[in-house]
Amino acid sequence: MSLTLYNTLTGKKEEFKPLEAGKVRMYNCGPTVYNYVHIGNLRAYVFVDVLRRTLEWNGYKVMQVMNITDVGHLTSDADAGEDKMMRALKREGKPFTLQGMREIADIYTKAFKDNLRMLNIREPEYMPRASDHITEDIELVQELLKKGFAYNTADGIYFDTSKFPEYGKLGNINLEGQKAGARVETNPEKKNAIDFTLWKFAKPELPAFPSPFGPGFPGWHLECSAMSRKYIGQPFDIHTGGVDHIPTHHQNEIAQSEAAYGTVLARYWLHNEHLVVPAGKMAKSEGNAITLHTLRERGIHPLAYRYYVLQAHYRSPLNFSWSALESAQKSYFKLLLSLSPGLSHPLPSVSNSAIDSAIAADLDTPRILATVWELVKEKKYATVFDADRILGLDIKNQSRKLLEEMGAVPEEVKRLSLEREEAREREDFKKSDEIRVEIQKAGFEVMDTDSGPIVRKRM
């Protein structure tokens, strides 16, 4: 079965053809571990997981790399502001040392990996940390200096974008718009407004890495180029990231990698859209970030959030609301209960052309979910379980777990649930809400569905 993907580089859907038959090498922009990732960040990693599962469904062996940025990511793509890890050191009262940065990174890297597990996202083969690859960064800067693509200024070494005529080719970026002030001019020594830092010289009081150019730290963009080349070579098949990476970060990766080594960086570039809240995209800097921990406190199962994300195509903005998320959770649990007969009476999986075509058409997860519900009506449970190899909702295990949880509800809580249903039938919603609180105090929660209430232990 052929697979069609939307390639930001060409601006169109293309049939995917790997560089090497049967194998795919893929690089995913990972988190900057200066704080907890929010659910908008996590949408990107759900998308990447679906992409990997789709490739494996198509018989490819996937070599996946996702970086961990623990140095070099400034608070602005315009090479302005302080390093985000420095900001974390201030916030948490850690010493301004490389060891202090490591401790911060360890905390939030572990939290990120915990989030991946809760969302049933498989860890990549490699998750390299930027601070462990300074040698590779230095080698790349030296190569660019030798070939005349880089130059020195008082505050660092910059890439000369005028020497790379293809700059802006990803997504056909309007460079005049960039030059007119899309990035803040912070260094009057820069030859061009859109030139970017390869190596930033550190102030004396700040932690820094030694280098032939002077103590400092690598540019955020440089790190991805160095690490992708080390682990999967150049060129490789697929590079992913959020749409916000297109104008600057990914343009810079392409420019420095291709200028240094004379070959394309990646053949297919895939970008996911944002999770949108009323104020705009969700971001820690905007103060509107919601973490997976926040969802769990609100009684939302992490895999219900995954279901919520899969209801929208990865290239479509997803408008966030609590009511929509709660509705997705109801649908997810209804799906789990609907599949319970298939746990004890398995039937052979049946090939389904609707699922195959949805998978092949640029990862159309909304169509796959719609097909899954049709299969449930037809009692083709094994085919649904098979489709979950793509969706990653862990429905077989979670269906068993939900049945066990519902079976383990104490009689007193069951009695309260029954009283609550009777109150709802009488439209005595005040009494119903009071009983819900009693159930919660007992350590359980009740969720109303069109198939009746689901009572389970609180997370």
Residue type, 317: P
CATH 3.40.50.620 in the chain: give the residue spans: 4-272
For the record, the structure tokens of 276 come out as 């949108």
pLDDT at residue number 414: 87
Question: What is the model's pLDDT at position 91?
Answer: 92
| 284 assigned binding-site residue | yes
Q: How many CA atoms lie within 13 A of 37 on its CB side?
A: 23
Query: What pLDDT is attached to residue 289?
Result: 84
- Whole-Å CA distances, 298 to 39, 77, 261, 287, 440: 14, 34, 50, 19, 12
How far apart are the C-alpha atoms of 331 and 393, rounded to whole Å? 12
The residue type at 26: M
Q: How far is CA 426 from the centre of its chain?
A: 45
Instruction: Say if residue 185 carries a ligand binding annotation.
Output: no
Token reading at 432: 């119903």
Q: What is the pLDDT of residue 182?
A: 44
Annotated binding-site residue? 38: no
Alpha helices in 184-282 (DSSP H): 220-232, 251-261
Cα distances (Å, whole numbers) of residue 195 to 77, 153, 159, 211: 11, 12, 6, 21
SS3 180: helix
3-state secondary structure of 118: helix
Phi and psi torsions of 164, nearest 5°: -120, 90
The reply to whether 224 sits in an annotated binding site is yes
The pLDDT of residue 180: 44
Does residue 275 sit in helix, strand or coil?
strand
At residue 103, the pLDDT reads 94
Res 209: pLDDT: 94
Of the candidates 381, 319, 395, the one whose C-alpha atom is nearest the C-alpha of residue 352 is 381
Give the whole-angstrom CA distance, residue 95 versus residue 91.
11
Q: Walk along the chain (459 residues) and give the pLDDT tens digit of each residue.
A: 789 999 999 999 999 999 999 999 999 999 999 999 999 999 999 999 999 999 999 999 999 999 999 987 776 666 666 788 888 888 999 888 899 999 999 999 999 999 999 999 999 999 999 999 999 999 999 999 999 999 999 999 999 999 999 999 998 877 765 654 444 456 889 999 899 999 999 888 778 999 999 999 999 899 999 999 999 999 999 999 999 999 999 999 999 999 999 999 999 999 999 999 876 676 666 567 899 999 999 889 999 999 999 999 999 999 999 999 999 999 999 999 999 888 887 666 777 788 888 888 899 999 999 999 999 999 999 999 999 999 999 999 999 999 998 888 898 988 988 899 888 889 888 889 889 889 888 888 888 877 778 888 887
What are the C-alpha distances in Å from 235 to residues 156, 171, 365? 28, 19, 29
Residue-level length of the chain: 459
- What is the rounded (10 degree) CA torsion for 8, 9, 15, 16? -100
The type of residue at 153 is T
Give the whole-angstrom CA distance, residue 250 versus residue 267: 13
Residue partners of 332: CB distance under 8 A and separation at least 6: 301, 303, 304, 307, 393
Which residues share a beta bridge with 23? Answer: 20, 61
Torsion over CA of 165, 168, 173 and 176, rounded to 10 degrees?
Answer: -50
Give the DSSP letter of residue 75.
S
Q: Are 41 and 47 in contact (CB under 8 A)?
A: no
How many C-alpha atoms does 170 have within 13 Å on its Cβ side? Answer: 26
- Determine if residue 250 is labeled as part of a ligand binding site: no
The separation between CA 15 and the C-alpha centre of its own chain, rounded to angstroms, equals 24
pLDDT for res 29: 97
Alpha helices in 60-118 (DSSP H): 84-92, 98-118
Distance, CA of 129 to CA of 232 (rounded, Å): 15
Instruction: Please confirm whether the linkage preceding 235 is cis (ω < 30° from 0).
Output: yes
Integer Cα distance of 301 and 405 in angstroms: 14
| CATH number listed for the domain at residues 4-272 | 3.40.50.620
Tell me how far CA of residue 456 lies from CA of 37, 311, 391, 447, in angstroms. Answer: 28, 24, 24, 9
Structure tokens at 337: 């209960």
Which residue stretches of 22-64 are H helix?
39-57
Q: What was the pLDDT predicted at 80?
A: 64
Write down the pTM of the prediction: 0.92
Q: What are phi and psi of 40, to 5 degrees?
A: -70, -45
SS3 of 391-459: the string is HCCCHHHHHHHHHHHHHCCCHHHHHHHHHHHHHHHCCCHHHHHHHHHHHHHCCEEEEEECCEEEEEECC
Least Cα distance to 144 among 206, 74, 197, 94 occurs for 197
Cβ contact 237:24 at 8 Å: yes
> What is the rounded CA–CA span in Å between residue 88 and residue 33?
9
pLDDT value for 356: 84
- Write down the residue that tokens 């970060």 correspond to: 249
